[in-house]
Amino acid sequence: MDTQIETRELSKWFGEVVALNNVSVQIPTGVIGLLGPNGAGKSTFIKLALGLYRPSRGEIRILGEKPRNNFHTLQKVGYCPEMDHFVEEVSGYEFLYWLARYSGYKPKVAKKQVERAVERVSMTERMYDPIATYSKGMRQRVKIAQTLLHDPEILFLDEPMNGLDPTAREELFELVISLGNEGKTVIFSSHVLHEVERVTDTVILIYNGRVLAFGKIREIRDLIKNHPRTIVIETLEPKKVYQILSVDENITTVNFDTQSLTVHTLDPMQTFKYINEMFLDEKVPIYSFRCADEDLQSVFQYLISTHIPRGL
C-alpha cells in the first residue's frame, strides 16, 4: 500500500510540556482511526500533519511533501477541526462559499462545490440560515461540509462525532465509509473505541504523546486479552450472585455494594456466559450487567503498564 502520511521521530513540545513524543509511523490509504483519550496528542498530530504546527523535532510528510506553508499539500487535504468556532452572523452557505473561493474556485464553481458538499451532509434546507441559529449537530455538519469542499485526497476529522445526534452519527459513519471506498485517506480521531470500530478496523493508539500501537483493532484486542476486566452486576442479592459465580475460576476479586457487585475477571467472555445462564435460569433477579472498563482509558493504562518501560 502507498504511504500517504509518514512521520520520523516526530515530536512537538510547548514549553516544557511534551505533546507528541518521537512518533514514527507510515499511514497508508484508507480509513484510519486515531484513538486516544483527551490530551493524548491526537489533535497535535493532526495539526502537525496540516502544517499548522512546526515539529519541534523530526519530520512529517504528507504525500511525500512537508506540509507547513505548502499550498500544494493543502490542495489535497481537508480538515474538520474539533473546536466549534464560526463567524456567527453569516449563513452556512456564505461561510462555505468563501472557503471554496480560498480553495481556488471561481464564483460559479465555488457555488456548485458548496451545494454538493452541503447536500452530502444533508444541510441543504438550512444552508441560508445564519450559523448562530444552528444546533450543535448542524454546526458539526457545516464543519464536515467545509472539509469536503475541494474534494481532498486526505481528510483529517478531529473528533467529528462531537454533538451529533444518533441519525447524524449514522450518516457520518456512512459518509466516512464511502469516502474510504472512494480511495481517500480519512484520519478519524476519537476517544471512543466503538466510534472508530464503526468506520475502520485499523487504528493508531496514541497516549501521552506516544504511539502505543498501530494496526488492526483485533491485534490490539489480542494485546489486551489478558487484561483483567471489570463487570458490574446490579442485583438485590449480590451475595447470592457471588455464590453462583464462585465456580468461575477467572474471577480474581469481588467488591460488594448494597444493590450491586463488581467482579474482576481474567476472561470476561466466560464470566458473561455464567451471568447469562444465571439471568436465564431466573434463580436470582439480575437487573443489569455491564463491563465497566471498556473505555479506552483502561485499555491505555493496561498497555502502558505492560508495553511501555518505566520512566518513559
Partner 1 sequence: MAILRIKNIGSLFLDIKTSFLHSLTITLRRDRFLLMAIICVLPVIIPIFVALFSRAMFRESGLEIFIRLSEQVYVHTLTPLLALFIGLIGIREEVDSLTIVYLLTRPVSKFAWIVGRFFAYMLISTFLLGVGLFSTFLACVVLGSIYVDFIGISMLLQYLGVGVMGLMGYGAISLMLGCATNYPIIIGVILFFGWEKIANVIPGIADFWTIQKYLDSMFPALASQRYNRAVMTVIGSFQKELFFVSPQRAFITLIVLTIIFLALAIGFVLWREFTKDRVVGTR
Nearer to partner 1 (CB atom), residue 224 or residue 304:
304
Nearer to partner 1 (CB atom), residue 11 or residue 235:
11
**C-beta separation of 185 from 155 below 8 A:** yes
Is residue 305 helix, strand or coil?
Answer: helix
Burial (0-12, 13-18, 19+ Cβ within 10 Å), 203? buried
Q: How many residues does the chain have?
A: 312
For residue 74, the minimal CB distance to partner 1 (Å) is 4
Nearer to partner 1 (CB atom), residue 98 or residue 279:
98
Q: Which chain residues interact with partner 1 by CB under 8 A? A: 14-15, 17, 19, 39, 43-44, 47, 50, 52-54, 69, 71-72, 74-75, 77-79, 81-83, 85-87, 89, 94, 98-99, 101-106, 109, 112-113, 146, 150-151
Nearer to partner 1 (CB atom), residue 190 or residue 265:
190
**C-beta separation of 49 from 218 below 8 A:** no
> Which phi and psi (to 5°) does residue 187 adopt?
-95, 110
Between helices 238-245 and 268-281, what is the axis angle to 10°? 120
Nearer to partner 1 (CB atom), residue 95 or residue 289:
95
Q: Enter the DSSP assignment of 46.
A: H
For residue 184, give the nearest of 152, 216, 144 by alpha carbon: 152
Nearer to partner 1 (CB atom), residue 13 or residue 279:
13
Nearer to partner 1 (CB atom), residue 76 or residue 198:
76
For residue 31, the minimal CB distance to partner 1 (Å) is 20
For residue 97, the minimal CB distance to partner 1 (Å) is 9
For residue 245, the minimal CB distance to partner 1 (Å) is 41
For residue 73, give the C-alpha cell: 499539500
For residue 147, the minimal CB distance to partner 1 (Å) is 9
For residue 159, the minimal CB distance to partner 1 (Å) is 11
Q: Enter the DSSP assignment of 130.
A: B
For residue 143, the minimal CB distance to partner 1 (Å) is 9
How far is it, in rounded angstroms, from Cα 214 to Cα 62? 18
**C-beta separation of 198 from 180 below 8 A:** no
Query: Dihedral angle at the C-alpha atoms of 122, 34, 39, 63, nearest 10 degrees?
Result: -90
Plot region of 193 (φ>0 → left; ψ -120 to 50 → alpha; else → beta): alpha
